[in-house]
Structure 1
Amino acid sequence: MTQAPEAWHAALNRLQLSGTPHVLATQVTSAGSTPREPGARMVITADTIFDTLGGGTFEWQTISAARDFLQQGSAGFHLEAFSLGGRSGQCCGGFVNVLLEVFPGVSSHIALFGAGHVGCEIVKLSAPLPWHLDWYDSRTDIFDEQDDQQPRLSCHTLTSPQESVLALPPHCHVLVLTHNHDEDYALIAALLRRADIASIGLIGSDSKWTSFQSRLKRDGYKPEEIQRVRCPVGAVHGTKLSNKTPYAIAMTVVTELLWLTDKPTAHQTRGLEPDALRSLFHDTATNPS
């Protein structure tokens, strides 16, 4: 376990921007003798901790619980209760409640092929969203130095469509909008060979897509495979915009991606369970620190 010198608030800001999975642990109540007081915080990742709740077995148990939630992808709030003399076996013998806020990192991976006008607008519009973007273009001088410094954005030179597609993570959402039709086709053909790609969007006119479909059929792709491609990308209910500016097209593409990447919660109750809150408030009222 690595203890980093970075303060919890600095680490939290950096991890939030980068989309790295992490947990913010906050001591919310104290009763009796405890290592630290309510308001103490620490940040926990899969391999590093930032700051401390006081050390000892109680802190180790907090870290273990946080990492279990990260591994399970259990986003949201979790309340952990520690009897320091009982559960944690510490001599101080107090009682604390710790709130674990689990941030599982980026919600989706997006691969964007093409750094033209529409691609640039898509990247700008996507910046505040909890996505990681891998951005590809075969032109070696197309990316600015500042592009590689944006949080959750990685820029790559596209040398081989087949190799780049093979390197994509599973369940990735892919947009193909390069400056070259042959490059677009090579990417679409490679993407259709991967059944684990979540969605495939292609920019283009009806005539371009008709031509691509004919080529794909000649190359042995089945109709159900070809239907995985959305073209033109960003068409809402099959309706195309009359406004064809890069910004307008990018807005429809990002909106479409929001629907495709949305993961509705399985429970109507969000946050802490009501019973946990009632117990917490009862303990605070009867055992004030």
Structure 2
Amino acid sequence: MHRPEASLQQQGTALPWHAALHSLQREAQPHALASVVGAAGSTPREPGAKMVITEDAVHDTLGGGSFEFQVIACAREALAQGESGTRLEAFPLGGRSGQCCGGYVHVLIELFAGAEMQVAVFGAGHVGQALVGLIAPLAWRVHWFDSRDDVFPATQQPRLVKHHAPDPAVAVAKLPRGCHALVMTHDHGEDCALVDALLARGDCASIGLIGSHSKWASFQRRLRDAGHPQARLEREVRCPIGVAGAKGKLPYEIALSVVTELLTLKPAVAHDDRRGVAPDTLREAFAPPTNE
């Protein structure tokens, strides 16, 4: 089974920052790029030095010592809070960092929160395969499940994790919070068990079920008997899936409709005229020294 999230660790050593950045960007993994952008006095590295930081790994170096540990801690705290964007941090090496160099360093920390969306696809049939192929170019992480052996195609994708999961409850337990779940297995009983488990979990961003209105009506009766209120079924489960009015029953046509619907569910990005490091902060950091 391909596990893209482990690919850096499998190489057994820290990578040059540019190699690590390429791999993490390709896999849509959360990470930070720390760059020395200003230095004064005696400092461990010159401007242009870079380091890549993840939750549990560091690639390359800004010179080591307490200063570097502080940069790592700052980046990891921001990553743990799901931050993205940029921040400029100042490190007086004799004060904040407690080093004897006595210099002063400005570090730009660029934060990448990872995948834009997490999508779970239950079912590796014709529609599932077409759907996963369409998602491949997007910065979404896909968790692909099937209860059958040897049904996944051999093709690998950098942000795709495949799971052979015969037990629906175990499969659903593997999902990250806030995942968009799409249920499209080869078996109606398995579909219903998966929707039941997804509703019981209660933290999915959305739940979509492939099928007709009559299939959904039958499922609703069984799910109400399992204790799920009708109002919640109507609010949290979409069936049929896909954009309203889409025509066509070919797997690729259905997949196109479903990806389009997912795009409408993608979180909006807040736009602000003042992006990145505040101009006042940059002016203060890089203002030429005054002659007294």
Calculate the TM-score normalised by the size of structure 1.
Answer: 0.87
Matched, 1:73 2:89: no
1:201 alignment partner, SS class: strand
Deviations 1:220-251 (A, max 9, x none): 4321121111011112xxx2312333223222
Equivalent position of 2:256 in the other structure: 251
Distance (whole Å) between structure 2 residues aligned to residue 226 and residue 15 of structure 1? 38
What letter corresponds to residue 149 of structure 2 in structure 1? T
Equivalent position of 1:86 in the other structure: 95
Equivalent position of 1:265 in the other structure: 270
1:43 alignment partner, SS class: strand
CA contact (8 A) 1:19 1:105 kept: yes
Farther off after superposition, 36-45 or 138-147 = 138-147
Matched, 1:280 2:285: yes
1:269: how far off? Answer: 2.9
1:36: how far off? Answer: 1.6
Distance (whole Å) between structure 2 residues aligned to residue 21 and residue 127 of structure 1? 18
Matched, 1:159 2:159: no
Change (3 A) 1:142 1:269: same
1:164: how far off? Answer: 1.6
Q: Over the residues paired in the alignment, what is the CA RMSD in angstroms?
A: 2.4
Stretches of structure 2 that go unaligned for 5 or more consecutive residues are: 1-8
Distance (whole Å) between structure 1 residues aligned to residue 182 and residue 240 of structure 2? 11
Identity rate, percent = 54
What letter corresponds to residue 224 of structure 2 in structure 1? K
Which of 116, 122, 126 in structure 2 is aligned with 1:113? 122
Deviations 1:18-65 (A, max 9, x none): 333221101111222222211110111222211111122222221121
1:46 alignment partner, SS class: coil
Superposed, which structure 2 residues align to 1:1-289 within 5 Å? 4-147=13-156, 150-227=157-234, 228-235=236-243, 239-265=244-270, 269-282=274-287, 285-286=288-289
Deviations 1:147-196 (A, max 9, x none): 3xx22211112312232223333322110111222221221222222222
Distance (whole Å) between structure 1 residues aligned to residue 173 and residue 43 of structure 2? 52
1:212: how far off? Answer: 2.2
CA contact (8 A) 2:123 2:186 kept: yes
Stretches of structure 1 that go unaligned for 5 or more consecutive residues are: none
Distance (whole Å) between structure 2 residues aligned to residue 191 and residue 72 of structure 1? 25
What letter corresponds to residue 130 of structure 2 in structure 1? E
CA contact (8 A) 1:4 1:48 kept: no
Distance (whole Å) between structure 2 residues aligned to residue 191 and residue 114 of structure 1? 15
Distance (whole Å) between structure 2 residues aligned to residue 132 and residue 172 of structure 1? 10
1:134: how far off? Answer: 1.2
CA contact (8 A) 1:23 1:102 kept: yes
Equivalent position of 2:6 in the other structure: none
Aligned length: 279
What letter corresponds to residue 66 of structure 1 in structure 2? A
Calculate the TM-score normalised by the size of structure 2.
Answer: 0.86
Distance (whole Å) between structure 2 residues aligned to residue 180 and residue 142 of structure 1? 14
2:219 alignment partner, SS class: helix
Distance (whole Å) between structure 1 residues aligned to residue 98 and residue 201 of structure 2? 52
Farther off after superposition, 121-130 or 76-85 = 121-130
